[in-house]
Amino acid sequence: MPWSFPRVHLERRPRLPRRVSRRPPSTRSRWPWVTPLLALVLVVNASALGYRLSEGWDWGDCYWMVAITIPTIGYGEVEPLSTAGRFVTVFSVVGGLAVVQLSVQSLLGLSEAGYFRRLRRRRFLNWVQTMNDHVILCGYGRIGREIGEQISREGVELLVVEMDPERKQAAEEAGLPVLMADATLDETLVEAGIHRCRSLVAALPSNAANLYVVLSARGLAPRCRLIARSDSDEAARKLRQAGADQVVSPYVAGGRTMAATALRPLAVTFMELLAGTDCKVEEFRLSDDPHKLGALNGRSLTDLELRRRTGALVLAIRNPEPDLINPYTYRGSTYNPGEPNLIANPGGEVTLAPGQLLVVMGSQQQLEAFGTLLGSALVSIDAMRE
């Protein structure tokens, strides 16, 4: 008899039911007002249909009877009612009272839950998404109010980010849109349009809060222009290290202005005098790419005749920072890194080079003609915010 392995009978384990992860149903409806509305529509149409079947009226009389019955106005019957019509009337009255009570309770519940506040915020955020080339002002204290007034006077769109309810109300009374949120959070800056704004001003009362705002803004939008407020030299140094383009101390700036006013009053009030005229001062940044400058690259102000062709006056030219110069990018250009960073009242021999910032004064038409003359050499607003 041939040898073989013994048969082993394995006991089959019963198959366990497969576990299915179940989530509890959501108790929050996306449209919480739908239920009261559907209940009202159901009662109105059911009552009108009841009058139509019981009394044989046309639809106009049926709905008119429902309209004067549900709110218990008591104008009287359209025509004498039959017994079935009276039952329909009782249904309309009882159902109408139930629907009204349900609607009132739902509206009170929505108000207590903050539904309408969230709805208004969602609509406001959708409107903020349409803002472009605006200024974000973080903080609406004493300094923030002056900043907001000056920027609004220039006709530039301004969005205030403020957490204090009293300051929010003050900004709204001044006609400024306010985003009530924490400006130190990344999501707040994104909602405010940090990727589409012209610049951001951090004017919060705390140096630490302004530092957080600058750090968050610089991380989200590396090319955005950031202006911050500081109360000390140490805070100003840290804000610059965090990425602020300009740091302003109210006490230092105020002291310098008062001293300059005592010595040169007309020169100090020059910008205030311009505010009441058609003359403006704008900044024009040239592209870093020499190829985009084309024929403008290396041309002097005398050769270009900018004043004669546009009527605008170049007040100053700021060369790029030495640590930001890419030798490969500036190869073949006429820019000399040894030149001063800021050339005030430039002469006709000053030449244009990639990355320069031109400070120009003129009327609105003159400034538009100046930008048109620069053409592709001018960096677009969107490109500067990438």
Q: How many domains does the chain have?
A: 3
Domain range for residue 380?
279-384
Q: Quote the pLDDT of residue 24.
A: 45
Residue 303 lies in a domain: yes
Same structural domain, 76 and 130: no
319 and 365 part of one domain:
yes
> pLDDT value at position 113?
63
Helix, strand, coil abundance in the chain, percent, nearest 5: 50, 10, 40
pLDDT of residue 277: 67
Where does a domain end: 77, 112, 147? 112
What is the reported pLDDT for 185?
92
Q: Is residue 269 part of a domain?
A: no
Residue 28 maps to a domain: no
Q: Is the dihedral of CA 358, 361, 364, 366 positive or negative?
A: negative
Q: Same domain for 157 and 219?
A: yes
Looking at the structure, tell me whether residues 147 and 249 fall in a common domain.
yes
CA separation, residue 206 to residues 99, 165, 189, 202, 228 (Å) = 52, 17, 18, 10, 11
Quote the tokens at residue 22: 């179940």
Residue 161 confidence (pLDDT): 93
- Listing DSSP states for 173-197 in one string gives HTT--EE-S-TTSHHHHHHTTTTT-
Q: Which residues pair with 179 in a beta bridge?
A: 161
Q: How confident is the model at residue 216 (pLDDT cuts 50, 70, 90)?
A: very high
Any idea what the CATH number is for the domain that residue 235 is in?
Answer: 3.40.50.720
In this structure, how many other beta carbons lie within 10 angstroms of the beta carbon of residue 127?
Answer: 10
Q: Are residues 197 and 246 in the same domain?
A: yes
Final residue before a domain boundary, out of 78, 112, 146:
112
For residue 343, give the 3-state DSSP assignment.
strand
Same domain, 72 and 185: no
> Do 180 and 241 belong together in one domain?
yes
Last residue of a domain, which of 112, 142, 173?
A: 112
Beta bridge partners of 358: 284, 317
Whether 105 and 147 share a structural domain = no
Tell me: the pLDDT tens digits for 242-296?
999 889 887 777 777 777 777 767 666 666 666 656 778 888 888 888 888 888 8
Q: Per the domain annotation, does 2 fall within a domain?
A: no
Q: Is residue 100 in some structural domain?
A: yes
Helix (H, G, I), strand (E, B) or coil at 291: helix
* CATH number of the domain encompassing residue 60: 1.10.287.70
- Residue 21 forms part of a structural domain: no
For 18-52, the pLDDT digits (tens) are: 544 444 444 445 566 677 778 888 888 888 888 88
Distances in Å between the alpha carbon of 283 and those of 229, 327, 379?
A: 22, 25, 11
Residue 151 has pLDDT above 80, yes or no: yes
Retrieve residue 197's tokens. 């704004």
**How far apart (Å, rounded) are the C-alpha atoms in residues 243 and 224?**
10
11 assigned to some structural domain: no
Q: Give the tens place of pLDDT for each residue, 307-365.
A: 888 889 898 898 876 544 444 334 444 444 445 578 888 888 888 988 888 989 888 88
Q: What is the CATH number of the domain that holds 332?
A: 3.30.70.1450
In a domain, 273, yes or no: no
pLDDT the model gives residue 10? 46
What is the C-alpha to C-alpha distance for residues 219 and 306, in angstroms, rounded to an integer? 38
